[in-house]
Amino acid sequence: MKAGIDKEKNLKKILCYISKAASQGSALCAFPEFIMCYTRSSQSAAELSAIAEKITGEFVSSIAETAKENSIQVVGTFYEKSPKRHRVYDTSFLINKNGKILSRYRKVHLYDALGFKESMKLYPGSSIAKPVKTSIGKLGLMICYDLRFPEMSRILASSGSEILMVPSAWVKGKMKEEHWMTINKTRAIENGCYVISPDQVGNIYCGRSLVVDPFGKVLLDMKKREGIGTVDISLKQVKQVRKMLPLLRNRRVDIYTDLKI
């Protein structure tokens, strides 16, 4: 998806995608990071804060209602009001086919790197959301920059996640697409799980929404295309790969600790 600066127009596009995905028989529809609106560098922290909402606000409520109407699960994101003045949470959510919010995750790793400083506008979350059972498997939520921190995906996998859902807005730049492809495949391989990473396309983002299977095979790469890509996944493959390559079971957690120098 390519989000514009108009929140209402983006919401209409989101609701249309949900209905279309459901009409195609999809069990779950997943969206990128920052779908509420594209935030230009010229937009101040106060301006962004002014459009942020609570999870009970119109934006998420409209998505939940459409999910219920179409009997489909949805993973989305929004700018959530935070307790800090002129700062917002970058939040993802999981909604079931009855329109109920099953999980909410506030991005813990802010993108203060490679010339960006998200902490100037965003406020970090303080916890990792527990994996949630869905009709397609146990799902763990991450967001974009979280991919660069293997501890998080490992915690989610060892806590039961069979699918890592990673809404993203991966910024273009030198070697950035190579990093994107490599990291998504690595997180899938090392945890023996599916990685589903819908990514913003257009504006300053590289696109290439991905689905990677538990053995590292790319099942979907949407390149620079905006629209819907559909993939069938099988939890049998998660079990087979984890049996064949038992990385989670072979860990030596009894000796993992920081080394004193």
pLDDT of residue 17: 98
Q: Name the domain count of the chain.
A: 1
Residues 138, 114: Cα–Cα separation, whole Å: 33
Residues 242, 25: Cα–Cα separation, whole Å: 29
Does 253 reside within a domain? no
The more confidently predicted of residues 41 and 224 is: 224
Does 218 reside within a domain? yes
Residues 35, 144: Cα–Cα separation, whole Å: 13
pLDDT of residue 182: 98
pLDDT of residue 261: 86
Does 256 reside within a domain? no
Task: Determine the 3-state secondary structure of 204 from DSSP.
Answer: coil
pLDDT digits (tens, 9 = 90+) for 13-40: 999 999 999 999 999 999 999 999 999 9
Does 258 reside within a domain? no
Q: Which residues contact 238 (CB under 8 A, 6 or more apart)?
A: 137, 162, 192, 193, 194, 214
Could you tell me the CATH number of the domain that includes residue 192?
Answer: 3.60.110.10
HEC assignment per residue over 99-121: CCEEEEEECCCCCCCCCCCHHHC
Residues 197, 188: Cα–Cα separation, whole Å: 11
pLDDT average, residue stretch 74-85: 98
Containing structural domain, residue 191: 7-244
pLDDT digits (tens, 9 = 90+) for 183-231: 999 999 999 999 999 999 999 999 999 999 999 999 999 999 999 999 9
Q: What's the burial of 92, exposed, middle or buried (CB within 10 Å: 0-12/13-18/19+)?
A: buried
pLDDT digits (tens, 9 = 90+) for 135-183: 999 999 999 999 999 999 999 999 999 999 999 999 999 999 999 999 9
Q: What average pLDDT does the structure give for the chain?
A: 97
Closest CA to 22 of 198, 199, 230, 213: 230
pLDDT digits (tens, 9 = 90+) for 47-72: 999 999 999 999 999 999 999 999 99
Does 23 reside within a domain? yes
Does 1 reside within a domain? no
Task: Determine the 3-state secondary structure of 69 from DSSP.
Answer: helix
Task: Determine the 3-state secondary structure of 16 from DSSP.
Answer: helix
Does 176 reside within a domain? yes
- 34: amino acid identity, one letter: F
pLDDT of residue 97: 98
Q: Are 60 and 101 in contact (CB under 8 A)?
A: yes
Does 249 reside within a domain? no
